[in-house]
Amino acid sequence: MNNPNIFKLEEYLGQYEFKAPYLLCCSDAESITMQEMIDMGSSSSKDAWNKLSLGYTEVSGLPLLREQITQSFYPKLSANNILCFSGAEEGIFCALYTLCDPDDHVIVLTPCYQSLAEIPALKGALISHISLREENYWRIDLQEIQNAIKPNTKCIVINFPHNPTGQVITKNELQDLVDVCRAHNLWLFSDEVYRLLGNPSEGWAPSAVELYEKALSLNVMSKAFGLAGLRVGWIACQNNDLLKKIEQMKHYTSICNSAPSEILSLIALENKDKILARNNQIVDKNLQLLDSFMDQYRELFSWVRPQGGCVGFVRYKKEESIDNFSKRLVDDKGVLLMPASIYSHSSNHFRIGFGRKNMPESLEKLKEFLQD
């Protein structure tokens, strides 16, 4: 196996994330302290926390946690349709590496979180990148996907709410995509890590796994819940044979999840509505500020207003490259944006993040820079 290409986004964040004071490109919601989380626990989960043994855990994830995941997200599935991972990233690696074979063909919507295309390519699959287009409001174009299908197509990879544009998929669009996958007997890998954060005008589409027997729905505690430090993610899939093979890949990566993180995830999911309401309130408020910002600086910037998640893709309208602008901004004011080049996207866009509580402060610093 060759080494994968450098993960540009993670490399970029690694360079600045713990140095730049104003992170205006984060893709996660505001986090929660350990104390707040423990205080939210029911008496039985507090008991589980206090009596927790710090040995190895079950490879597929704590059964109680997997049950809570199905109740919270996929009520028609059962705990054995869930396989837990260390974050969503391990789920992407194990699932796509297992699913794809050399010379398979895989369709990926771009721009995208790099590993969604990189891991199938690492395994030797041939990738068709289908570009989401701004003039189509970054929406999925089913016709383009259909045109790209070949006899050796194995899988379609989607991510909605989409990183970096914040576009969502509607229930009808998802159903149409499932119909196409079913007609061609394709797997559908659906990265849903931003689902339930935001307020899409047409409501939330279901998880792909609820509609399709060959779907893998990926989710995680990192984004909508703001709990990236737990490193707990999962894949939901109706096909237990595939889940078993993916689990066998996990033996080579993390083996099992962190015991404390499993209990903390359980507490978070028991308080799902409360945590999501708090995070959605922050996102709503920040989006309103961004609406006025976009209005005030419409000569400089434009965007398709995000429908879900906590990131959007803003076009910088000046001649200057967004790479240069972003570098000047972080050097001068410590405000971090994420230019399109990090997504290998040749445009003058940047990702903006609005999930964090201190986002208004970061936006003020950006304004200061623009006024200077």
Ligand X SMILES: Cc1ncc(COP(=O)(O)O)c(C=O)c1O
Q: Sketch the per residue contact string, 122 through 161, with ligand X: x for CB under 6 A, - otherwise.
A: -------------------------------------x--
Which residue is closest to ligand X by CB? 87
- Closest approach, Cβ 191 to ligand X, in A, equals 5
Alpha-carbon distance of 300 to 232, in angstroms, equals: 39
What is the 3-class SS of 248-291, one letter each residue? HHHCCCCCCCCHHHHHHHHHHHHCHHHHHHHHHHHHHHHHHHHH
Q: Pick left, alpha or beta for residue 305 (phi over 0 → left; psi -120 to 50 → alpha; otherwise beta).
A: beta
Nearer to ligand X, 118 or 191 (CB): 191
Is residue 222 at the binding interface for ligand X, with CB under 6 A as the rule? yes
Nearer to ligand X, 25 or 186 (CB): 25
Tell me which residues in 259-318 interact with ligand X (CB under 6 A): none
- Closest approach, Cβ 367 to ligand X, in A, equals 26
Q: What are the residues whose beta carbons fall under 8 Å from the beta carbon of 176, sequence distance 6 or more? A: 142
- The single residue among 169, 228, 304, 336 that binds ligand X, judged by CB under 6 A, is 228
Q: In which element (H, E) is residue 3 found?
A: none
Is residue 191 at the binding interface for ligand X, with CB under 6 A as the rule? yes
Is residue 233 at the binding interface for ligand X, with CB under 6 A as the rule? yes
Tokens found for residue 223: 């984004």
- Closest approach, Cβ 130 to ligand X, in A, equals 16
- Give 335's strand partners: 22
Nearer to ligand X, 13 or 333 (CB): 13
Nearer to ligand X, 233 or 333 (CB): 233
Angle at 20 between CA 17 and CA 25, to 5 degrees: 60
- Closest approach, Cβ 134 to ligand X, in A, equals 19
Nearer to ligand X, 45 or 219 (CB): 219
Is residue 27 at the binding interface for ligand X, with CB under 6 A as the rule? yes
Tell me which residues in 68-97 interact with ligand X (CB under 6 A): 87-89
What is the 3-class SS of 292-312, one letter each residue? HHHHHCCCCEEECCCCECCEE
Q: What are phi and psi of 201, to 5 degrees?
A: -60, -30
- The single residue among 95, 125, 132, 193 that binds ligand X, judged by CB under 6 A, is 193
In the chain, helix, strand, coil percent, each to 5?
45, 15, 40
Alpha-carbon distance of 260 to 253, in angstroms, equals: 19
Residue with tokens 């540009």: 8
- Closest approach, Cβ 233 to ligand X, in A, equals 5
- Closest approach, Cβ 88 to ligand X, in A, equals 4
Angle at 105 between CA 101 and CA 108, to 5 degrees: 110
Piece in contact with ligand X (CB under 6 A), picked from 38-46, 72-80, 220-228, 245-253: 220-228
Q: Which residues bind ligand X (CB under 6 A)?
A: 27, 87-89, 113, 159, 163, 191, 193, 220, 222, 228, 233
